[in-house]
């Protein structure tokens, strides 16, 4: 097995795109920063609000600030060497592919289902060879063992595929972080498999 230094060396050579800097995106970015990813490209249009703090990687003195700028600061406090390219914009079908033009792996971290659909269609049709990792179903609490990763070719789906958010099914840190951690873990599997082969791919 490779040492953490060796793992970091490999992670350092790669770029990961993250579409959205909310519950999934901010925590995927945090996990990948801790394991020494070379570069992150992160896009979001939102500002930090109090309701975000139950699950997103921001702090109470950052309420009202632009998410991507704030996230970049927080990530660089963990690891100043990670290159972080930020885009403060609302992603759509027209700007998605140009914003994430050169990524090794793409992480979908949107909130709305219709936005998830746009990124799946854009990447699976125009960039079918770029692995795309979705988060799908992580609201509520408990049921940890129903969270899973399913692989369909270059499309990976993390979550329980059931728990949609609603007024009585809020998204909260534990389950959102399980999903975000599964997405980051899948990124590692994909990048390390490229180097070490299937022995290090622990996805289904």
Partner 1 sequence: MNIILNHNPEIIETNSDSITISELLKIKSFTYKQLIVKVNDVLVLNENYSTTSIKGGDNVMVIHLMTGG
- Note the residues at the interface with partner 1 (CB under 8 A): 20, 22-25, 108-114, 116-117, 120-121, 124-125, 128, 134-139, 150, 152-153, 155, 157, 161-165, 171, 176, 179
Residue closer to partner 1 by CB (options 84, 138) is 138
Please name the residues in contact with 183: beta carbons below 8 A apart, sequence gap of 6 or more.
Answer: 24, 28, 107, 109, 133, 135, 156, 158
Residue closer to partner 1 by CB (options 81, 203) is 203
**Shortest gap between Cβ of 2 and partner 1 (angstroms)?**
30
Phi first, then psi, for residue 127 (nearest 5°) are: -135, 60
Residue closer to partner 1 by CB (options 6, 148) is 148
**Shortest gap between Cβ of 138 and partner 1 (angstroms)?**
6
Residue closer to partner 1 by CB (options 156, 191) is 156
**Shortest gap between Cβ of 159 and partner 1 (angstroms)?**
8
**Shortest gap between Cβ of 202 and partner 1 (angstroms)?**
17
């Amino acid at each position: 097995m490779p040492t953490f230094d060796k793992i970091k060396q490999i992670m350092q050579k790669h770029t990961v795109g993250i579409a959205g800097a909310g519950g999934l995106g901010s925590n995927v970015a945090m996990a990948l920063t801790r394991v020494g990813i070379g570069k992150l490209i992160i896009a979001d249009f939102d500002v930090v609000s109090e309701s975000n703090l139950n699950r997103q990687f921001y702090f109470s003195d950052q309420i009202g600030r632009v998410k991507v700028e704030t996230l970049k600061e927080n990530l660089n406090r963990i690891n100043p060497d990670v290159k972080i390219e930020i885009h403060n914009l609302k992603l759509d079908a027209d700007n998605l592919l140009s914003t994430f033009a050169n990524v090794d792996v793409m992480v979908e971290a949107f909130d709305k289902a219709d936005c998830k659909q746009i990124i799946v269609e854009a990447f699976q049709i125009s960039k079918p060879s770029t692995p795309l990792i979705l988060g799908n179903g992580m609201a509520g609490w408990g049921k940890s063992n129903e969270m899973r990763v399913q692989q369909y070719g270059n499309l990976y789906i993390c979550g329980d595929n059931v728990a949609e958010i609603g007024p009585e099914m809020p998204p909260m840190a534990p389950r959102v972080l399980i999903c975000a951690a599964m997405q980051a873990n899948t990124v590692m599997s994909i990048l390390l498999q490229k180097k070490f082969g299937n022995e290090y791919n622990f996805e289904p």
